[in-house]
Structure 1
Amino acid sequence: MPKEQGRKLIAQNKKARHDYHIEDTYEAGMVLQGTEVKSLREGRASLVDGFVDIDRGEAWLHGVHIPEYLNGTWTNHAARRKRKLLLHRAEIEKIERRVAERGLTVVPLSLYFLDGRAKVEIALARGKKSWDKRQAIAERTANREKEQALGRHLKGIRD
């Protein structure tokens, strides 16, 4: 069987981009059990409640839901267990330092296969205030209206 090539997206955390200002992103591998990989290959996962915790020099992914593999037996995994992330020690120390000094949090943004290996994209993020969210929505609406007006102008349609 040929080796998988490219990137296959499994799950994305759209709510994280809405609720946080993303400052820096990292790509990390994950330590998974066999049935977790099979469940991910079926495209089943949820990152909504996920977060990353640094404990004794190791990064752990908490709250990510990978449902049990349907054809699994007694060897099935727990759906919300904590999973170890594979990062370089320097990256872990940098993340830990920035979280401690600036009050940032680490959230998962996406879960995907890259050349057959499960990866998670994590981000250092700062929580948005409610006025930040309203401002972002207003900017999106203004840009959409501007694009629509430009399209109408190019087509020769008058308002």
Structure 2
Amino acid sequence: MAKETGRKLIAQNKKARHDYHLLTTYECGLVLTGTEVKSLRQGRASLVDGFVQIDGHEAWLHNVHIPEYSQGTWTNHTARRKRKLLMHRMEIDKLESKAQESGHTIVPLALYFKDGRAKVEIALAKGKKEYDKRQTLREKQDRRESDRAIASARRRQRARAA
């Protein structure tokens, strides 16, 4: 059987990119049970309420919902248990010191398989104010409108040339 290669996205936390300024991102492994991996392979997970907490020099992922595996038996996992993240000690220490600053938190951004192993992308983030969120939406909308205008101008130009 051929080994998986590449990155297969399972879940993404788009709300985190909207609600926070992302300062630094990290890729971490996860300690999972067999039924959790099987459930993830079916593409089922939610990162919406997830957060990372550092406890006793270990990083833990809280509130990430991985539903129970449908063919699981008594060995099935609980959907919202805390899961240990696999990171280097220096990364954990750096994250811990930065996360203790006021207004900083650690949020999961994406859950995916990379070369057959489950990974989570986390970010050190600082919460946005309401006006920052509106400004971000406005910039995104302006960018979209300008791209549309450029595309339509190019279409008109091609139509004239043809």
1:71 aligns with 71
Partner secondary structure for residue 152 of structure 1: helix
1:128 is aligned to 128
Q: Which runs of 5+ in 2 are unaligned?
A: 158-162
Moved runs in structure 1, 4+ residues, more than 2 A? Answer: none
> Offset of 1:153 from its aligned partner?
1.7
Gaps of 5+ in 1: none
Say which is worse superposed, 117-126 or 148-157, in terms of deviation: 148-157
- Secondary structure in structure 2 of the residue aligned to 1:90: helix
For each residue in 1:88-126, what CA deviation from the matched residue of structure 2 results, as whole angstroms up to 9, or x when unmatched? Answer: 000000000111135310000000001111000000000
The match for 1:6 is 6
Q: CA deviation at 1:77?
A: 0.2
Residue 160 of structure 2: aligned partner: none
1:91 to 2:91 alignment: yes
Query: Which amino acid counterpart does residue 129 of structure 1 have in structure 2?
Result: K
- Amino acid of the structure 2 residue aligned with 1:110: A
In 2, Cα distance between equivalents of 1:118 and 1:87 = 13
TM-score by length of 2: 0.94
Letter in 2 for 1:19: D
Distance of 1:101 and 1:51 partners within structure 2? 16
Superposed displacement of residue 86, structure 1: 0.3
TM-score by structure 1 length?
0.96
Q: Distance in 2 between matches of 1:151 and 1:116?
A: 39
Root-mean-square deviation (CA), in Å? Answer: 1.1
**Equivalent residues in 2 for 1:115-154, closer than 5 Å:** 115-154=115-154
Q: In terms of mean alpha carbon deviation, does 46-55 or 140-149 score higher?
A: 140-149
Indicate how the Cα distance of structure 1 residues 103 and 137 shifts in structure 2: closer, same or farther if over 3 A, else same. closer
Aligned mates of 1:152, 1:5 — CA distance in 2: 39
Where in structure 2 are the equivalents of 1:98-117 lying within 5 Å?
98-117=98-117
2:96 alignment partner AA: E
Q: Percent identity?
A: 68
